[in-house]
Amino acid sequence: MERFQFTKAHSVSEAIGIAAQSTTAQQGAPVRFLAGGTTLVDLMKLNVERPTRLVDINHLELNKIERTSDGGLRIGALVRNATLAHDEAVVRDYRVLSEALLSGASAQLRNVATTGGNLLQRTRCMYFRDTAMACNKREPGSGCSAIAGENRALAILGTSPQCIATNPSDMNVALAALEATVHVQGARGTRAIAFQDFHLLPGDTPHRETALEPGDLVTHVTLPPPRAGATSRYLKLRDRASYEFALASAAVVVEVAGGRFRYARLAMGGVGTKPWRMTAAEQALTGAAVDEGTIKQAAALALRDARPQSENGFKVELAQRCLTHALRLATGMATV
């Protein structure tokens, strides 16, 4: 860890003002907001993140969960993962989000990790985290060690020749399926970013992970009103039972009537370089009969574009099984 200046921001505008002096809000940013710190401090200890200035935002008034006027939910950026997961409205109306949060990290981490921080969680690619290894995400232009290396846990969707790192967040997968909106306040005012536009594909700039610019502070996330009659589930597959990132996970929100899917929103984790919406599969499901054949076809369609690496070919099959089973659970075709 290198020396840094620590500032406690007294207002959102003060925090933004300090951060706006930064050259970037992406990898290598000299100014970082400190919320739960579960990713940032970890990466600072590894010398992967070397901010010269930390702006502590923990006491800003961004920690409320409120109903929006349209019946949706507004979640402050500083709402802790544990609080959000156990919130009555979330448990009742957005089960997929509660399940996703509770499948992530450990109870201790969830007690401190925040909504905004989880949105910005960095990849767990082993090469990103080890400064002795080449990594385009950490050091642009240095190369990707993972492509010819130990890539079992890495992405099969949205990869580029420069980066195959997976977005590790469970929460993000649920927010993708719920079509959340990320609200940002920056030097030039506020803006709302559709969830699917918030995270970027690596392409030739894997060090750029989000739509954030210097000074941008995520203030809250909004969820659309819960859809009447819909059920939602999160299924996470991994090697051990707890405290591990997903090899494949699926967030599904579906509405079934008359034996047919009337509505489907599907997203997957553990397989993509960003939280991955399965729009083709959503379209295939909508209007189709709820049966084993339909969901298997949809799952196959969802992984149609998968490009496995040397050690993660199994993820193509595993991800299909994951999505299929999540749909079984959401439609009552399976109970465990």
Residues forming contacts to other proteins in the complex (CB under 8 A) are 1-3, 47, 124, 126-127, 129-133, 145, 148-150, 153, 235, 237, 239-245, 247, 314, 317-318, 321-322, 324-325, 328, 334-336
Would you call 147 helix, strand, or coil by DSSP? coil
Q: Which is nearer to other proteins, 132 or 228 (CB)?
A: 132
Residue 237 C-beta: closest distance to other proteins, Å: 6
Residue 121 C-beta: closest distance to other proteins, Å: 13
Count of CB atoms situated within 10 Å of the CB of 135: 27
Residue 198 C-beta: closest distance to other proteins, Å: 24
Minimal CA–CA distance to 126: which of 87, 97, 168, 157? 168
Whether residue 186 contacts residue 139, with contact meaning beta carbons closer than 8 Å, is answered with no
Count of CB atoms situated within 10 Å of the CB of 186: 18
> How wide is the angle at C-alpha 180 spanned by C-alphas 175 and 181, nearest 5°?
135
Residue 172 C-beta: closest distance to other proteins, Å: 18
Burial of 188: CB neighbours in 10 Å, binned 0-12, 13-18, 19+: exposed
Residue 321 C-beta: closest distance to other proteins, Å: 6
Residue 11 C-beta: closest distance to other proteins, Å: 31
Count of CB atoms situated within 10 Å of the CB of 206: 27
| Bridging pattern class, strands 53-56 and 181-186 | unpaired
Q: Which is nearer to other proteins, 50 or 262 (CB)?
A: 50
| Bridging pattern class, strands 53-56 and 5-8 | parallel
> How wide is the angle at C-alpha 267 spanned by C-alphas 98 and 96, nearest 5°?
15
Q: Which is nearer to other proteins, 201 or 333 (CB)?
A: 333
Task: Report CA 172 to chain centroid distance, whole Å.
Answer: 3
Q: Which is nearer to other proteins, 274 or 325 (CB)?
A: 325
Beta strands in 91-188 (DSSP E): 181-186
In degrees rounded to 5, what are phi and psi of residue 264? -150, 130
Residue 138 C-beta: closest distance to other proteins, Å: 14
Sheet containing 217-223: which strands, arranged edge to edge? 65-67, 73-76, 217-223, 181-186, 189-194
Residue 204 C-beta: closest distance to other proteins, Å: 23
Minimal CA–CA distance to 159: which of 193, 125, 116, 182? 125
